[in-house]
Structure 1
Amino acid sequence: MSSKLETTASGSRTARRRRTNLQRKRPKLDDRLSRKPSSTRVTSQWKSRVKSRRKSTALALDRPVVAFDNAGVGRSTGETPDNVAAMARDAVTFLDLLGFSKVDLLGYSLGGCVAQQIAAEHGSLVRKLILVGTAPQGGEEHLLAVLEEAFSHTEAPDPRLPLFFTRSAASQAAGRAFLDRVYARKEDRDSDNGSAVTDPQAKALITWCATPDPGHALLRAIEQPSLVVSGSHDTMLPAGNAYAMFKAMSNAQLILYPDSGHGALFQHHSLFVSQARAFLDA
């Protein structure tokens, strides 16, 4: 895995990590997977989502994977935008800087909103789209209430345990295993940028969901093959969002994971990886 800062034309620096299995044949350019993380613990956390202890990142077994922090997040410089449209523009600028003419795009949570915007406005750039734990424009969100509830659990070793996982024994066990993977990384970790990042990101997500799109014009503009993924008991961005997206999009598949919350892809990481790879390879 390589970690690098790229400088854009505006002078801001974007942090990215690239993973690839060097024993495999180098994929073609349009097989690259670009991942837009969510609004909390950025690139370091992405590694734990799809990683087993005995293998490198599973999605990178047969394709280069670039996980990046958008403007102001993690080690990327600049100011974090407070709206999805600006985040999408920054992401496209970064992809252009890397010289990617065609990518598979994966977005989680707020990153999924950004990925929708990119796919709708830059159809020729995106080959396939994976949207995880996210919402359409005008969708349902309970961000502030869910965060308040999660942080009220002072007995939890980490607020992500009640935030991302259900109360069942199986889900909590998966959550603790997820945290073990997160904390396993000791070096080259991303810093927590605090309210300078979380406040504009929260505003972006809340505004996105508060902006009506009764005809789902943005979703209907997405013609690329898409995989929509959600946890059955996601309290932050409920699973009804995923079903609404699936119905509105012309070429979408839907996966709902049982007994799982906003961190469904962390809880069912092995299954998610196998299904995501099958979708991208089809």
Structure 2
Amino acid sequence: MEHSIKYLDVKTSTVEGSNGVSYAYRRLGPQGGRPLVLLQHFRGNLDNWDPDLVDALAATRDVIAFDNVGVGATTGSTPTTIAQMADDAIVFVEALGLDTIDLLGFSIGSFVTQEMVLTRPSLVAKLILASTAPQGAPGMHGWAPDIIGAIGEPATDAEGMLHAFFTDSPTSRAAGERFLGRIFTRTEGRDEQTTWQTRNAQYDAVLKWGTPNFGMLQRLAAIERPVFIANGNDDRLILSWFSHLTASLIPDAFVKLYPDSAHGFLYQHAQAFAADVHGFLDA
């Protein structure tokens, strides 16, 4: 049965974790099946998810988006390691009483997703890694100066988002502008803005994750779950070749790159990506 409630209409709920943190989340879609939990990008909160994408995912599936510790309206301080973020995300899932889930992690969220399935394999059935890279990969120790300048300053702006998340082609930039319009459509009940503490902690975690260490690459061989890896074909933030590297390290993984798109491919190609996610999860 297709679900009619839209992401822009869903109110933010909270749940108390065993760590004393109050987690903010939004849940929509028909419940009863295996939920799909979404993990957000660098500095992103609940309002940074594209409503078109979430609605397409939730049309026939239970979808849960949340703020991890210290992000947006969730209490606490954002940790400085991906491993702690994964532990905190597991606490959130436990607080909702969920035994088995699917995970969709985007950017830094995809790092957390990898760590979650390595930490608690029994919790996760299938994974979607969007704009991802493995821990210790060469070239991942921080982002290019123009990228961190675009999205790492105290005040982010539309031009910075367009530069980091979309290509310079007229088609991609137009898609980016439409995306920005969609995420600012909600006028009431918006999430709390992410703080400078969150920005610094998350970038510290990215740098630790990206410190070159070829031995860490072997960890992904322990992921014994089906994995769908996706990216734009011209991602300037996490280069597209990292998708292929990640897939080569996981026993049951495949890659799809979306045309004329960058880090925000899942927003530019929201309907196509959602259809691919459904196909993967239903297979």
How many residues of Structure 1 are paired with residues of Structure 2 in the alignment? Answer: 269
SS in 1 for 2:122: coil
What is the aligned-residue RMSD (CA, Å)?
Answer: 1.9
SS in 2 for 1:143: coil
Contact 1:166/1:261 (<8 A) preserved: yes
Shift of 1:151: 7.8
- What residue ranges of structure 2 are gaps of 5+ in the alignment? 1-9
TM-score, scaled to structure 1 = 0.90
Contact 1:151/1:159 (<8 A) preserved: no
Contact 2:134/2:242 (<8 A) preserved: yes
Shift of 1:149: 5.0
Partner of residue 88, structure 2: 90
The reply to whether residue 127 of structure 1 matches residue 143 of structure 2 is no
Partner of residue 202, structure 1: 203
Shift of 1:214: 3.5
Shift of 1:17: 0.5
- Distance, in Å, in 1 between the alignment partners of 2:151 and 2:90 is 33
The reply to whether residue 243 of structure 1 matches residue 239 of structure 2 is no
Contact 1:71/1:90 (<8 A) preserved: yes
| Cα gap change, 1:200 to 1:49, in 2 (>3 Å) | farther
Partner of residue 165, structure 1: 166
Of stretches 182-191 and 223-232 in structure 1, the one that deviates more from structure 2 is 182-191
Contact 1:110/1:205 (<8 A) preserved: yes
Partner of residue 184, structure 1: 185
Partner of residue 220, structure 1: 221
Shift of 1:144: 5.3
- Distance, in Å, in 1 between the alignment partners of 2:196 and 2:238 is 21
CA deviations on 1:46-99 (whole Å, 9 max, x unpaired) are: 143505xxxxx1111222111011000010000100000000000011111111
CA deviations on 1:111-157 (whole Å, 9 max, x unpaired) are: 100000011121110000000012110123352521225689xxx74
Contact 1:27/1:62 (<8 A) preserved: no
Partner of residue 269, structure 1: 270
- Distance, in Å, in 2 between the alignment partners of 1:90 and 1:213 is 26
| Cα gap change, 1:215 to 1:6, in 2 (>3 Å) | closer
SS in 2 for 1:50: helix
- Distance, in Å, in 1 between the alignment partners of 2:214 and 2:167 is 30
- Distance, in Å, in 2 between the alignment partners of 1:221 and 1:2 is 38
User: Percent of counterpart pairs with the same letter?
Assistant: 34
Shift of 1:194: 2.3
- Distance, in Å, in 1 between the alignment partners of 2:44 and 2:32 is 29
SS in 2 for 1:159: helix
Partner of residue 229, structure 1: 230
- Distance, in Å, in 2 between the alignment partners of 1:129 and 1:181 is 26
- What residue ranges of structure 1 are gaps of 5+ in the alignment? 52-56
- Distance, in Å, in 1 between the alignment partners of 2:46 and 2:265 is 18
Partner of residue 32, structure 2: 27
Residue 68 of structure 2, aligned match among 70, 79, 84: 70
The reply to whether residue 79 of structure 1 matches residue 88 of structure 2 is no
- Distance, in Å, in 1 between the alignment partners of 2:150 and 2:82 is 25
Q: Which runs of 4+ in 1 moved over 4 A?
A: 149-152
Partner of residue 6, structure 2: none
Letter in 1 for 2:247: F
The reply to whether residue 50 of structure 1 matches residue 59 of structure 2 is no
TM-score, scaled to structure 2 = 0.90
Letter in 2 for 1:18: R
CA deviations on 1:216-235 (whole Å, 9 max, x unpaired) are: 22211111000001111111
- Distance, in Å, in 2 between the alignment partners of 1:11 and 1:151 is 29
Shift of 1:39: 1.5
| Cα gap change, 1:277 to 1:93, in 2 (>3 Å) | same
